[in-house]
Amino acid sequence: MNFDDVSADIESVVLTPEEIAEGIARMAREIERDFAGETPLLIGVLKGAVMVMADLARELNIHVEMDWMAVSSYGKSTKSSGVVRIVKDLDISLEGRHVLIVEDIVDSGLTLSWLLENFSSRQAASVRVATLLRKPDALSVEVPIDYLGFDIPNDFMVGYGLDFAEAYRNLRGVGVLKPSVYKD
């Protein structure tokens, strides 16, 4: 869906579909250069990374494989705790593989640091990270991001995979959700 369909809920447009496509293409050119001659294993973290994975993988002019993981943070808080439970594990072995984690957004970076540690213990040859979006808090922890689309402000955003209560993931762009939608 388009911004017009949810204009009552969106405070401001952060990224248009065209800007997202430009960012994805820029990341893809860097990834193609760095993985020349390899077949990287792209790993998406469900569900948010579905849109980035679909567009990034198609933009890449090299062979890739794709796999998916579903994780959930322990605890009820909306902020991730850093303690992660695997809900759906990978199907493909990481041993000897060049892995590229594909993320929609890195906020605190806690999920990502857990994944990096988990993947390196599975004997991957290398593990790199691509994320479309990064929030300011990610800069305060050690989260190595190899391919970045955009730095965005610390507002609550929806669209292009990002949800509020499972809604808005199918919005083509990214926008700031009006606080009136989630505060009543």
Annotated catalytic residues are 107
Task: Answer for the pair 93, 118: CB distance below 8 angstroms, yes or no.
Answer: no
Q: What is the DSSP letter of 97?
A: -
Provide the binding-site residues for ligand IMP, judged by CB under 6 A. Answer: 48, 80, 104-112, 156-158, 162
Q: Which does 108 bind (CB under 5 to 8 A by kind): ligand IMP, Mg ion, none?
A: ligand IMP
Nearer to ligand IMP (CB atom), residue 35 or residue 106: 106
Nearer to ligand IMP (CB atom), residue 64 or residue 162: 162
Q: Which does 106 bind (CB under 5 to 8 A by kind): ligand IMP, Mg ion, none?
A: ligand IMP
Give phi and psi for 57, each to the nearest 5: -60, -40
Cα–Cα distances in angstroms (integers) from residue 95 to residues 41, 120, 169, in the given order = 11, 9, 33
CA distance 132 to 126: 20
Q: Which does 175 bind (CB under 5 to 8 A by kind): ligand IMP, Mg ion, none?
A: none
Smallest gap from Cβ 147 to Mg ion, in A, equals: 16
Task: Answer for the pair 119, 101: CB distance below 8 angstroms, yes or no.
Answer: yes
Nearer to Mg ion (CB atom), residue 48 or residue 175: 48
Nearer to ligand IMP (CB atom), residue 9 or residue 104: 104
Any contact of residue 48 with Mg ion (CB under 5 A)? yes
The helix, strand and coil proportions of the chain, stated in percent and rounded to the nearest 5, come to 30, 30, 40
Smallest gap from Cβ 140 to ligand IMP, in A, equals: 11
Q: Which does 157 bind (CB under 5 to 8 A by kind): Mg ion, ligand IMP, none?
A: ligand IMP
CA distance 115 to 96: 17
Smallest gap from Cβ 174 to ligand IMP, in A, equals: 9
Looking from the CA of 40 toward its CB, the CA atoms found within 13 Å total 24
Q: Which residues bind Mg ion (CB under 5 A)?
A: 48
